[in-house]
Chain A
Amino acid sequence: MRSNRYALLLTLTVCLMLAVAPILAAPARQPLVVNSYYSDSASSKPFEQLVAMFSKQHPEYDVTVNVVAHEDFKILLRTWLNSADAPDVVTWMGGERMRYFARKGLLAPVDAVYTPSGFDNQVAPAFRNACSFNGKLYLVPRDFEWWAVYYRKSIFEKHKIPVPQTWPEFLDACDRLKKAGLTPIAIGTKNMWPAAGWFGVFNLRVNGLDFYQDLCDGTIAYTDPRLKNAMDYWKVLLERGYFLDNHSSYGWREAAAFIYRGEAAMMLMGSFITDDIPASLADDFDFFRFPVIRKDVGLVEQVPVNGFMIPARAKNKDAAVAFLKFMASKEAQDFVANTQSYPVVYKGFQSRDPYLQKGFNLISGSDGAMQFYDIDTDPEMADIGMNALVEFMMFPVRIDTILRNLEVQRQRIFK
């Protein structure tokens, strides 16, 4: 009995020492907490490698990365920003999504990340708007998506359809595809935002950047005749049956599968579609800029920007700035471009990948950039608006009632 008791005491003491030892032995490193939504395998591994690269260059920081699935992240972010234990860096998007929090004083300005050279010397100027609020920067941009019409080259070649550059050419292409028994345009509106992509593109081509920006800011009525005019172009495509049948049953990936199977030809989508395209078909896909509708309106594209923010309540802001300086560096961004084929934001970005370079040229050759309807307008308005767009796509004749209802909601939300 006595020996048992001694054995127990000895074991407990050893365990206690083992538990305490690491704490005593660890050097005093500055902690840094990063919360990210890079949760799928294509994006989580590269981010881990980036963090490892940073830790190698800066061993004085002890970096902890918390990965949270995208949908949960969106909800938890508000809790984190308000908590006394806020993380030091969070991943997020630009535009209204960022401004919503900046307006409430929940974000710390990130201008320090770009000293001494300055934001405009490091980042392509098209992105400044998406990262600022009230003259200060709150988002450190890293990569972006561009929206364009993706299509299968083999289908276009088989039916001898040239890549359309103007609206009449686009209608002609759709008509020929339909006559060949294919669905010209695939779209999946179960999650609604692909329809918002079409809404944006018609507004930008017919009414221009300022109009669309004001519409998202809630200062233009939804019953404005210019909006109706833009929707009328969309109506033409709907009435001629160029879209996929029963698109509200499909998420965007299920709709894209129609293109992979050769039953549909085109899809207006963000550049992340390349993550979904099967490897065997990767070479058969290309994209073109959505055709010009009015020659007097500038070429503006939808370019959601992704990056990082620093919560106002972060404890280790210096560590956060050091981390973000690394993320904003050419080295880190080239790594992202090469491993994930995402276009990145630093000025003068050149890629050996012709596909990426084409995307970057699409943006630098544009007259301006917007985020995206559900990123640039009030979240409640976006939800009601996108539902209305799906209803319009299914029942185009209801356009007047739909716009009237949207206007009623706009007045309530933006009063």
Chain B
Amino acid sequence: MNRDHWTPYAFLAAPVTIYLVWVIIPIVQTMVLSLSDWDGVSSTLSLVGFDNYKRLLSDPYFIRSLKNNVTWIVAFVFLSLPIGLAMAMLFNNSMKGSRLFKTLIYLPMTLSFVVVGQVWSWILEPKYGALNTFLRFVGLDSLARPWLSDPGIVTYSVIAAALWRQVSYSMILFLAGLQNVPREQVEAALVDGANGWQRFRYVILPALWPSTVVTITVSIIDSLRAFDIVHVLTRGGPFYSSSVIANYMYIQAFNNYRMGYGSAIAVVQFLMTLVFILAYLASALRREVDYT
């Protein structure tokens, strides 16, 4: 038998097996659990069909969590992308200190969400926190809010803390993408008399399309996954106002002994993420055909 024929498969066998055992099979198990009423403790369980999913449709706390996730997605895509892109454009040159700025802006990315959450819970503390103290200091007392207690604004406060870290991620992705913009095209446009904005709009932006797709997909997946920062800042409170589906799933599965219900939430989260991943893969595979 020709050795080249089966060597790739031999190399693939180990990683694929690991992936199957530790990722695929647990996903299938979770899907089965979501059709049961298991409490995570008993050694027996009974299958209840789609009852858990039916309950999700009318669960007011789940609906609120879902709405918050939509807010997260909108904020991550429409705020972290433009700001990240602007910063990437700003620092994508050899001006003095550009490397320093890039490093400083990248630093939040090195912190875990738990640390980010802890730091921001001190900044947003209503009486002595840095933000409110600053606002009172410059005379903007009326803007000082209970950032993490007011049910109307708490989600936005949590998102702001997460964005602080997410923007640096977008910036890095766009910086990498900018390196791939063909210089000849930009210079040709310059020679043709295009001004800065026109160069950006008609040459750079289209060339950045692959990076943009990656950044959008990553941002959406990260916003659906958000858990640690919500858990540290507010625990999803006050009374579920800042809850997101990952947080709600954790509470149901691990605090409330409703593992079956928690699994159903996990499956919903998985399917939502899957939609975006498949869209990304379709676009990426199509692009590979175009650009090679």
Contact = CB atoms under 8 A, between A and B. Distances in A.
Interface in B135-170: 146-149, 151
B240 interface: yes
Contacts of B237: 190, 192, 248, 387, 390
Contacts of A254: 125
B126 A246 contact: yes
11 contacts: A106-B41, A245-B126, A246-B149, A248-B149, A249-B147, A254-B125, A383-B255, A387-B239, A390-B237, A390-B238, A390-B239
Interface string B220-247: 0000000000000011011110000000
Contacts of A74: 254
Interface in A14-55: none
Interface in A210-247: 245-247
B254 A82 contact: no
Nearest to B129: A249
For the residues of A in contact with B, the DSSP-based class is helix
B31 interface: no
A246 B238 CA distance: 10
Q: Which 10 A/B pairs are nearest by Cβ-Cβ distance?
A: A380-B256, A246-B146, A248-B238, A387-B239, A391-B239, A246-B149, A248-B149, A246-B126, A78-B41, A249-B148
Contacts of B125: 249-250, 254
Given A246-B146, A249-B126, A394 B41 contact: no
A189 interface: yes
A81 interface: yes
B177 interface: no
B65 to A, nearest CB: 13
A386 to B, nearest CB: 9
B41 A104 contact: yes
Contacts of B41: 78, 81-82, 100-101, 104, 106
A339 interface: no
A217 to B, nearest CB: 17
Given A189-B238, A249-B149, A390-B237, 15 more contacts: A75-B254, A78-B40, A82-B41, A245-B126, A245-B127, A248-B238, A250-B125, A379-B255, A379-B256, A383-B255, A387-B237, A387-B238, A390-B238, A394-B151, A394-B238
A191 interface: yes
A190 B235 contact: yes
A388 B239 contact: yes
B251 interface: yes
Interface string B51-88: 00000000000000000000000000000000000000
B235 A191 contact: yes
A376 to B, nearest CB: 15
A386 B258 CA distance: 17
Contacts of A380: 252, 256-258
A250 B237 CA distance: 11
A387 B275 CA distance: 33
Contacts of A101: 41
B287 to A, nearest CB: 43
Interface in A61-94: 74-75, 78, 81-82
Nearest to A104: B42
Given A78-B41, A248-B237, A379 B257 contact: yes
A250 B146 CA distance: 11
B238 A82 contact: no
B43 interface: yes
Contacts of B239: 387-388, 390-391
Contacts of A394: 149, 151, 238
A245 B239 CA distance: 17
Interface string A267-306: 0000000000000000000000000000000000000000
Contacts of B256: 379-380, 383
A249 B146 contact: yes
